[in-house]
Amino acid sequence: MAKYKIAWMPGDGVGNEVMDATRPVLDKLGFDAEYTHVDIGWEFWKKEGNPLPDRSLKVLHETDACLFGAITSKPRDEAAKELDPSLQDKGLSYFSPIVRLRQEFDLHTSLRPCKAYKGNPLNLKDDIDIVVFRENTEGSYGGVEFHPVPDNVYEALCTNPKMHKFDAVPRDELAVSTRIMTKHGCTRIVRNAFEYAKKYNRPSVTLVEKPNVLRETGGLMTRCARAVAKDYPGIELWETNIDAMCMWLVKNPNSYDVIVAENMFGDIVSDLCAQLVGGLGFAASGNIGDNYAVFEPTHGSAPKYYGQNKVNPMAMIQTARMMIDWLGEKEMAAKLETAVAGVIAEGKARTYDMGGNTGTMEMAQAVIAKL
C-alpha cells in the first residue's frame, strides 16, 4: 500500500497541463502515493449544475490531502446562461467550488509564500521573502449577500442612523454584501502567522487591515492581533492599512516577512506579493485546516493558453512541494525546492512569462533533471 492517498483534482484548462507536468516530478522524488482523480470545475457546473459534485467531496474525505489545478469561474448570471438546458430555471446558482471547499473543510489558513529565487528575471527586487497568511473562511467570502434587500434585513439595517442616506433608494436598487468576522477566526489566523514567524525566526508579523474605516471588523481583527502578539515577545507586530501596504510592498518589499490578513485583503495583497516575485507562474498556495489541506497554485485556468504546453508549471510544482512538506516529507520538499531554485538560477529553461520559449512539460523536465 502507498504511504499517502492523494485526491488529484486538475479542474479546468491549464490546471490539467500543470498537473500532468507535476506528476513525474513527484514520481522522480519518490513520493509514495496513490492518486484518485476528483471531478471539479466548469464542465460539471454545465452538465450537472454543481461544479463540485458530492462524489468529489467523498473522495476528499477519504484522502490525506488534495492537489488542485485550476478552475474557471464566472459571475452568477453568466454562469446561469451556460447551464445545460435541462437544468435551466431550476434556481441553481453558481458558487465558487474552491471557496466552498475552503468552508466545507474549514481550511482556515491560506498560506501563500512569495520568495524571489535568484536569477528570476521577473523579480521586482532580489531577496524578497514574504509569507502571506490569509484567513480563508470568513470575511466577505461567506456568501451572505442581499439583492434585493429583504424587508427584515432592511429594517435591521435601519437601526443604524447612517442608513438614512439610503432611504430614498428603491429596494431592488440596493445591494448588500457582508463582511463577517469572528474573534475565533481572527485569533486563529494571527496565531498561525506568529507560530510560523517563531518557527522560522522571522522578526515581524504585519497585519493588513483598514480599521480606520471598517471599524467593527477591522477593530476586532486589530484587537485580536494585539492580544496574540503578547504571547510572542521577540516578534514585532506591525499594523498597516491595506491601501498604504500596497504602496509600501512595491517600494520596500524586502522589509516584510510574515503578512497576515482577513480573507479579501489577503486575496488582494497575496496577488500583489506574487507579482513581486514573478507573478502567477510562480505563486503557490495551500488551503490548510486542522486535519485536511487542499493545495493549489493561485493562477486560474487560463483558457487562452490551454492546450499549448505554454504556461509555467513552477507554481504547480511549488504547490506540490508545499503539500509534501505539510504531509511531513520535509527532506523531499527541501530537495525539490533546491531543484526549482537551481533551474531558475541556471536560466536555461525559461517559460514564455520569463521571456523564453520552454514549454510546460520541458520546464518540469528541467526540474526533474536537477533532481
Interface with ligand IPM, residue 312, by CB under 6 A: no
The answer to whether residues 170 and 223 touch, using CB atoms and an 8 Å cutoff, is: no
String marking each residue 97-136 x if it binds ligand IPM according to CB under 6 A? -xx-------------------------------------
Please, which residue, 192 or 285, has the CB nearer to Mg ion? Answer: 285
Order of strands across the sheet with 129-135? 33-37, 4-11, 65-70, 293-297, 284-288, 109-115, 129-135, 258-261, 204-209, 236-241
Query: Which helix or strand (DSSP H or E) is residue 14 part of?
Result: helix 14-29
DSSP-derived 3-state class of residue 248: helix
Which residue from 56, 73, 123, 140 is in contact with ligand IPM, where contact means CB under 6 A?
Answer: 73
Q: Classify the phi-psi angles of 355: left when phi > 0, otherwise alpha if psi is within -120 to 50, otherwise beta.
A: left
Rounded to a whole number of angstroms, the minimum distance from the CB of residue 344 to Mg ion is 23
Q: Is 355 exposed, middle or buried (0-12, 13-18, 19+ CB in 10 A)?
A: exposed
User: Minimal CB distance to Mg ion: which residue?
Assistant: 267
Q: Which entry of ligand IPM, Mg ion, none binds 186, CB below 5 to 8 A by partner kind?
A: none
User: What's the rounded Cα separation, in Å, for the pair 68 and 183?
Assistant: 30
Interface with ligand IPM, residue 96, by CB under 6 A: yes
User: Minimal CB distance to ligand IPM: which residue?
Assistant: 96
Interface with ligand IPM, residue 298, by CB under 6 A: yes
Rounded to a whole number of angstroms, the minimum distance from the CB of residue 99 to ligand IPM is 5
Please, which residue, 103 or 309, has the CB nearer to ligand IPM? Answer: 103
Q: Which residues lie near Mg ion (CB under 5 A)?
A: 267
Please, which residue, 272 or 367, has the CB nearer to ligand IPM? Answer: 272
Q: Which entry of ligand IPM, Mg ion, none binds 92, CB below 5 to 8 A by partner kind?
A: none
CA-wise closest residue to 351 among 271, 281, 279: 281
Q: Which entry of ligand IPM, Mg ion, none binds 140, CB below 5 to 8 A by partner kind?
A: none
State phi, psi for 270 to the nearest 5 degrees: -75, -30
Please, which residue, 49 or 51, has the CB nearer to ligand IPM? Answer: 51
By the criterion CB under 6 A, which residues form the site for ligand IPM? 73, 96, 98-99, 267, 298
